[in-house]
């Protein structure tokens, strides 16, 4: 089929499909899932793919993508709900505050956000933990801006790079990379980004010095003063789960997946090794974490209430699963139509690293429509076939899509409003400095890491 279709026709089909996709997402009432499927049909038909082959590519792309990661998305979102309703996320924050001690509240909140956002959506994580940050600001006299940037930065970075958060998990499935390795490398890549963002928070907190009033009802802008080192723990009277019980459902799956990755790489099989490799499969490991969270974090809660919470979480899981599958369908059509190979050959003739393509597209989509998840999944669907055809590193291509989706959070991103409103920032210029610049710093650090990794990998 590819031999009978000109490269120009393939590119025209891709161009029309992508323009239509962006238009539908931005200007119409059409949901992004339906928009992705419509774009896939247009790319296939205009690009020269027969109707029957177009439909076949859409169904196989949708099913193939979700076959590898759909279950994990569901498990991860349900586990996040257990963290949210039980208070485990808040317990993590209090634990890190005790560990870091005097004067290190921003680092404690950054690490808390870093871990909490692996299973919990960053919006929910910030809503849950911002009252703690506010209480710490009032007690220590540290700027709420510093604490909010540290917390929100940690949240959004792992939300964008580390499965089982749905966005990066969908990208991993679309690029066909090993989820276990993706999780571990994602954590490593996220660390320098979180450190850079926290340092920026400390700097900006001196420029925009804002603390809550004593009654916590208003915001004050006094002259900047050094923090009060009273070893504030932020302890509350809530009946929260213990630190061990709070951390276990999150840490155990990561450890099991690590065992699977290491043992598989070392080709150790047989006996106990086989058992470890099996339970370290991401689907099994996250499933074990979910079971552990249900039976340890919901003690004393009524069975019906727990099931209702889990069912409520599955509503949001369904949306993410469909959007992820739609991205996979679009990617398969691009691959089947031959446009991926055609573009890959063109890129190969230049000196441009192929992994920059998903990064650039994710950056553009993010800037235009706001959602990081939609940006990375859209970029993955478009570029995975191209990266594969060009012989590029699929793992780095996947991370390129995720990192690009961090670019300049602005009015069209819901998290922009969550962070600024709960931090008491109302001036637009200050909102941009507090959050738009923060996400762009994470994006820039991630880009540098991507280039370095591309040299060595």
Q: Is the dihedral of CA 268, 274, 276, 277 positive or negative?
A: positive
219 DSSP β-pair partners: 212
H or E element at residue 457? none
Residue 147: which of 436, 419, 439 has the closest Cα?
419
Q: What is the pLDDT of residue 234?
A: 52
Q: What is the pLDDT of residue 265?
A: 79
Dihedral of the alpha carbons of 348, 351, 353, 359, in degrees to the nearest 10 = -100
Q: What is the pLDDT of residue 2?
A: 41
Q: What is the pLDDT of residue 3?
A: 42
> Which stretches of the chain drop beneath a pLDDT of 50?
1-3, 231
H or E element at residue 47? none
Report in angstroms the alpha-carbon separations of 349 from 12, 340, 418.
20, 14, 45
pLDDT more than 90, % of the chain: 47
Q: Is the dihedral of CA 10, 11, 12, 15 positive or negative?
A: positive
Extract the tokens encoding 26.
């931005």
Report in angstroms the alpha-carbon separations of 152 from 40, 41, 55, 69, 302.
35, 38, 41, 26, 32
Instruction: Report the C-alpha gap between 372 and 429 in whole angstroms.
Output: 22
Q: What is the pLDDT of residue 206?
A: 93
CB atoms near residue 205 (< 10 Å): 25
**pLDDT by residue (tens digit) across 173-205?**
999 999 989 999 999 999 999 999 999 999 999
Q: What is the pLDDT of residue 4?
A: 54
Cβ 252 vs Cβ 284: under 8 Å: no
Report in angstroms the alpha-carbon separations of 26 from 31, 177, 191, 281, 412.
10, 30, 33, 38, 10
Q: What is the pLDDT of residue 209?
A: 95
Domain positions in the chain are 2-220+240-456
pTM above the 0.95 mark?
A: no
Burial classification of residue 226, based on how many CB atoms lie within 10 Å of its CB (0-12 exposed, 13-18 middle, 19 or more buried):
exposed
Q: What is the pLDDT of residue 371?
A: 82
**What is 284-348 written as a DSSP string?**
HHHHHHHHHHHHHHTTTS-HHHHHHHHHHHHHHHHHHHHHHHHHHHHHHHHHHHTHHHHHHHHHH
Place of tokens 């669907």: 381
212 DSSP β-pair partners: 219
Contacts of 30 (CB under 8 A, 6+ apart): 24, 38
Q: What is the pLDDT of residue 238?
A: 65
């Amino acid at each position: 089929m590819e031999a009978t279709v000109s490269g120009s026709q393939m590119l025209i089909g891709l161009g029309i499909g992508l323009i239509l996709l962006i238009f539908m997402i931005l200007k119409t009432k059409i949901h992004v899932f339906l928009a992705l499927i419509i774009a896939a049909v247009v790319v296939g038909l205009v690009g020269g793919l027969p109707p029957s082959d177009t439909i076949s590519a859409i169904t196989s792309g949708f099913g193939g993508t979700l076959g590898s990661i759909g279950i994990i998305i569901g498990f991860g979102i349900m586990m996040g709900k257990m963290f949210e309703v039980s208070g485990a996320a808040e317990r993590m924050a209090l634990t890190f505050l005790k560990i870091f001690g005097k004067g290190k509240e921003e680092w404690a909140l950054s690490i808390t956000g870093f871990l909490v956002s692996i299973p919990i959506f960053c919006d929910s994580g910030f809503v849950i933990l911002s009252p703690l940050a506010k209480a710490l600001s009032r007690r220590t006299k540290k700027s709420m801006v510093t604490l909010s940037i540290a917390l929100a930065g940690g949240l959004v970075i792992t939300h964008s790079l580390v499965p089982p958060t749905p966005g990066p998990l969908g990208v991993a499935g679309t690029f066909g990379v090993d989820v276990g390795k993706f999780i571990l490398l994602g954590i490593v890549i996220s660390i320098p980004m979180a450190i850079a963002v926290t340092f920026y928070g400390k700097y900006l907190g001196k420029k925009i010095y804002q603390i809550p009033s004593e009654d916590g009802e208003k915001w004050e802008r006094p002259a900047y003063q050094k923090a009060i080192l009273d070893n504030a723990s932020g302890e509350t009277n809530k009946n929260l789960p213990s630190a061990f019980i709070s951390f276990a459902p999150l840490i155990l799956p990561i450890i099991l997946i690590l065992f699977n990755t290491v043992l598989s790489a070392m080709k150790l099989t047989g006996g106990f090794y086989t058992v470890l490799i099996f339970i370290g499969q991401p689907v099994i490991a996250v499933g074990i974490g979910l079971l552990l969270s249900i039976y340890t974090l919901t003690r004393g809660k009524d069975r019906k209430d727990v099931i209702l919470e889990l069912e409520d979480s599955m509503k949001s899981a369904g949306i993410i699963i469909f959007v992820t599958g739609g991205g996979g369908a679009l990617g398969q059509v691009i691959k089947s139509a031959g446009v991926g190979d055609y573009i890959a050959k063109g890129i190969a003739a230049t000196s441009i690293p192929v992994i920059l393509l998903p990064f650039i597209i994710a950056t553009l989509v993010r800037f235009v429509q706001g959602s990081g998840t939609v940006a990375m999944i859209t970029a993955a669907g478009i570029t995975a076939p191209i990266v594969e055809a060009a012989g590029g590193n699929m793992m780095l291509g996947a991370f390129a899509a995720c990192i690009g989706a961090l670019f300049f959070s602005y009015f069209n991103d819901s998290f922009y409003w969550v962070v600024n409103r709960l931090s008491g920032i109302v001036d637009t210029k200050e909102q941009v400095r507090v959050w738009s610049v923060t996400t762009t710093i994470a994006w820039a650090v991630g880009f540098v890491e991507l280039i370095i990794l591309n040299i060595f990998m």
